[in-house]
Amino acid sequence: MSLPVVITIGVATLYTYKFLRGLWGVGFTPGPRPLFSPLTPFGMVLPANWYLNPSSNWSWIWRKTAYFNYTHDVIAFVPWIVGDATYYTSSLDVTKQLLGAENKIHLEKPVELTTARFADVWRTVRSLYREVGEVEGWDQRDEIIFDEVNSFALKFTFTIISRCGFGFATPWSTGLKTHMEFPDALRLVSETFILRVILPQWAYKMPFDRLRRMDDAWTIVASSVLDAINKRKDENAEPTANGDPRPDLLSYLVASWTNLNKQGLEEHDVIANMFSLMFAGHETTSSALVTIMCYMAIYQDEQEKAYNEVCEAFSKCDPSENIDTNKLTLLLYSIWESQRLYASAGFIPRQLTEDAVINVVRPTQQSMHLKKGSRIMFDLTAIGRNPHIFKDPEIFKPSRWESFSEHDVAMFGFGPRSCVGRKFAQTEAVAFLSTLLYEWKIETNSLPGESKAHYEERVMGDATLIGTAFGLKRVPLRLTRRRI
């Protein structure tokens, strides 16, 4: 027997053993058996094919037929070559069972990271909105056209989390003169966040313009972040009245960096944490704003309902101060509904630290045993479009949330490890949208002769993972000033 044949048999045996071990690990749960796991670089980069490589975007691509046409609450991906066997669930009940029980095996999140001064968020959003109006000349215009509103939303949410979360005095216009404008650099950094983690440093020396632009963008944004860190380090050297760090995340990170004991952070740790918190904190909100604005433009009747509610709330309360989101329920329902259809988080990943038993309803009512070490992905895209949870799941219908509680909003997760920025993001979104709707009517920026139905199909059908958030790729919009 020749050496190539021996090697071929050996490799085939190795991968067959890996595959069978994966099947056993998930209890032979039905599901795709591709070559590559969607969670690997191969799954993210290679073209989508259900049998060979479903891709990291599989849940969106097959959103109408996934989970065997939603006849299974839980499925398992078991790849032949690259990646580990992983459970996926489209069940809201299973999600609550597992995430709601995390307090048995995980610590609660620190209080100082789960609370926020929401009145400050509201005021900061409105202050930035006025600043945008002055800098961009909105105050003198009756119409604003966006070829794509994504960049604007990305910059807006980045500025808000910079000011509220990290205490930066970030201006809307930086005044920096570089070969790449900061908003462009920020957009490119967001789009290439995962790619930056995968690629080695030497790759940026290769003669490819996109890689060089990507490196330039990261350099510009990193330089801005580093300047802010060093400035805060100098500010922290001056003691506050009570001797504690200033009450924002950046001050706590810098205080840990300057701490001389062994548990202190290094400079690169502070920068890494800054990037993680900032991009996780603003990309998802940016994606949510883009989606709800697009839906408002298409469904004018829903926009009008939200506008009337805003007018009523603003007539009774001072809009410059914090307004309870419970007084803007239609707007909040619209945000939840848009996130049901286009969940910014996409998936919530978990790895079991102990054996767990879950109760499933489909395909038959039974108990499933999940082994310690198993990976499970809570599929927010599939949960939001599951016809067993939401009637007519493909239809944008904010009023459906009247019969649901806030605890059924899956996009923020459940239990003690749910999203720490939930209230922050909701307050930011409601403050921005209410202020915008009060002055502007959101309309589609359609192609010549294009109907709203075709616009919806073209724009809202083009969604993918952009950076760390799932959302619409490019949304052209038009703002028309309301005559108040």
Tell whether 325 and 366 lie within a shared domain: no
pLDDT band at 219 (very low <50, low <70, confident <90, very high): confident
DSSP H or E stretch at residue 93: helix 92-99
- 419 labelled ligand-binding: yes
pLDDT for 221 equals: 78
Q: How confident is the model at residue 273 (pLDDT cuts 50, 70, 90)?
A: low
Statement to judge: residues 25 and 151 lie in one domain: no
Same domain, 281 and 213: yes
When mean pLDDT is compared across 30-34, 162-166, 181-185, the lowest value belongs to 181-185
For residue 209, give the CATH number of its domain. 1.10.630.10
Residue 299 and residue 401 share a domain: yes
Task: Indicate if 283 and 404 belong to the same structural domain.
Answer: yes
Query: In this structure, are 245 and 334 located in the same domain?
Result: yes
Task: List Cβ neighbours of 40 (8 Å cut-off, separation of 6 or more).
Answer: 79, 82, 83
Average pLDDT over residues 114-125: 67
CA distances 344 to 65, 74, 393, Å, are: 21, 21, 17
Shared-domain flag, residues 311 and 386: yes
* Res. 186: pLDDT tops 80: no
Q: Does one domain contain both 201 and 219?
A: yes
pLDDT in the model for residue 111: 37
Q: Are residues 465 and 437 in the same domain?
A: yes
Kindly report the number of other CB atoms within 10 A of residue 373's CB atom. 12
One domain, residues 203 and 69: no
pLDDT band at 404 (very low <50, low <70, confident <90, very high): confident
The total number of structural domains that make up the chain:
2
CA distance 372 to 356: 7
* 359 and 338 part of one domain: no
Same domain for 141 and 18?
no
Q: Which domain holds residue 30?
A: 3-103+350-381
**Positive or negative: CA dihedral 58, 63, 65, 67:** positive
What confidence category does residue 106 fall into, taking pLDDT thresholds of 50, 70 and 90?
very low
Give the whole-angstrom CA distance, residue 66 versus residue 333.
26
> pLDDT tens-digit profile of 426-450?
889 999 999 999 999 999 999 999 9
